[in-house]
Amino acid sequence: MLSYAGIANPHALGAYSVEQNARLLQRYRYIHERLLRTAAGHLPARENWDLKAALGKHLYEDAEAADLLRQRIAELRTSPAALSREPDAALGLLMDELLHARSDLELTVGIYAVIKPALLAAYRQHMAVTQQIVDQPTIRILRGIALDLEEQIAWGGEMIGELERLSAGNGELVLFKEQLNSIMAAAGGIAGLGKKPPQLPGRIRSQQPYVLPVRSVRDPRRMGPTTLARTGVAQPPDDPVRRSLLEKMRVRQEEMTAAELIAAVLYSQQHMPWAFYKDLARHLWDEVRHALFGQAALECEGEDWMSRPQYTSDYDVNAAKIPGAQYAWLSIGIEEGAMKRPGKAGEYEFCRDVAKHPLMAQFQDYDWADEVVHAGLGRKWSPELIGEDIGFVRELAAQELEHFWEQVRTAQRQWSEDASAC
């Protein structure tokens, strides 16, 4: 169609006024923000490696969705103050109960078989019934988010099948899913347009607060035990170049522990500006991507990385610290520190010029670019988290690093002694 810039159905009256539209988008925004926080809270606690990776990707996509919705809401005569509000007590309860999923399967069902399909249906409905000219900016945003949701739901469906094969039948799962659906119905559905019963449902599991795990979890049935030592590959080659290359691949694969530390910061630190959560969602997903760099490189070399002991120091050693100290340790201590040569530049040049491994060189090239961004995020947010200037934060990070290396060195010594005794 040439007229109306190709916009179909231009004459029909839309279903929503500006005020009604803003109210709907507030609900969508709220759910994406709570999904982000839920995934962050669960990342260190979930067993399945593929689930961890997908939580990292999808929480980043949820943050991007929430960010676009925030911008659109502000265009609909809505005060920015409304962007920090919970739009509906029943939606709040729904997300509180989802946070209390007790297994990989419960969480996967809650996100990918309950909440996200309902979101997708609400967006399809919104795009169909809103006035097509007046609300084109919203339609464009929802279309992009719907594409992500379709991919996420398809992935989730496959993961549910896999987790069901791995675990025995679970009556609690059925009940958990029913409870989420009934709370969603009490909220009038995602959009709140359904008929609401006159009473609000009560709390079930969320009477207790959700607590992050003290140590991060790996699937004990399919993965090696967690460890504070770096254990490399099963049979380190004699050639020092090849040995160092494989060690680098392993260190990348072990970056899931950095993602889990950021997850703890993102989950625990409340009352920061929205930009902080958006930045940390990206930072977290980047660290998951780095772990996937390592996974892909090791698998290309035929290395069985999964049955090796799994390094979890970044999360485990720092678990008891407050979020500001955790973030300063990683972003200033480790990431800003890696900007000094040889650092990240040296890793890339080694893979390109010495090991001459094109795939790993490409991974390190992008890893270096990401780390430049992360050091910048550290300088932006660590002072704000701690309430001190960057000079103070650097001193604090140096002390945190010293404490960290002490523990890792001890574990490393123990590992070497045990290995030579075998």
Sites of contact with Fe ion (CB under 5 A) = 255, 287, 290, 335, 371, 374
C-alpha 55/C-alpha 115 separation (Å) is: 14
Which residue, 213, 211, 103, 117, is CA-closest to 167? Answer: 103
C-alpha 261/C-alpha 317 separation (Å) is: 10
Q: How far is the CB of 371 from Fe ion (least distance, A)?
A: 5
Which residue, 159, 63, 147, 78, is CA-closest to 111? Answer: 159
Q: How far is the CB of 120 from Fe ion (least distance, A)?
A: 32
Q: How far is the CB of 394 from Fe ion (least distance, A)?
A: 17
Nearer to Fe ion by Cβ, of 115 and 281: the residue is 281
Nearer to Fe ion by Cβ, of 100 and 290: the residue is 290
Give, for 68, the enclosing helix (H) or strand (E): helix 49-74
Nearer to Fe ion by Cβ, of 32 and 321: the residue is 321
Q: What is the 3-state secondary structure (H, E, C) of 340-369?
A: CCCHHHHHHHHHHHHCCCHHHHHHHHHHHH
C-alpha 262/C-alpha 163 separation (Å) is: 26
Give every CB contact of residue 324 below 8 A, 6+ residues apart in sequence.
269, 382, 385, 386, 387
Which residue, 299, 206, 315, is CA-closest to 250? Answer: 299
Contact 63, 36 (CB under 8 A): yes
Q: How far is the CB of 255 from Fe ion (least distance, A)?
A: 5
Nearer to Fe ion by Cβ, of 96 and 287: the residue is 287
Question: What are 238's two structure tokens?
Answer: 């004699």
Owner of token pair 């201590």: 333
- Using DSSP's 3-state secondary structure scheme, residue 304 falls into coil
Nearer to Fe ion by Cβ, of 138 and 310: the residue is 310
Q: How far is the CB of 367 from Fe ion (least distance, A)?
A: 6
Nearer to Fe ion by Cβ, of 67 and 287: the residue is 287
Nearer to Fe ion by Cβ, of 106 and 255: the residue is 255
The helix/strand count (H/E) of the chain reads as: 15, 2
Question: What are 244's two structure tokens?
Answer: 């160092």
Q: How far is the CB of 340 from Fe ion (least distance, A)?
A: 15
Q: How far is the CB of 373 from Fe ion (least distance, A)?
A: 8
Residue 209: is the preceding peptide bond cis (ω within 30°)? Answer: no
Q: How far is the CB of 225 from Fe ion (least distance, A)?
A: 23
Nearer to Fe ion by Cβ, of 231 and 331: the residue is 331
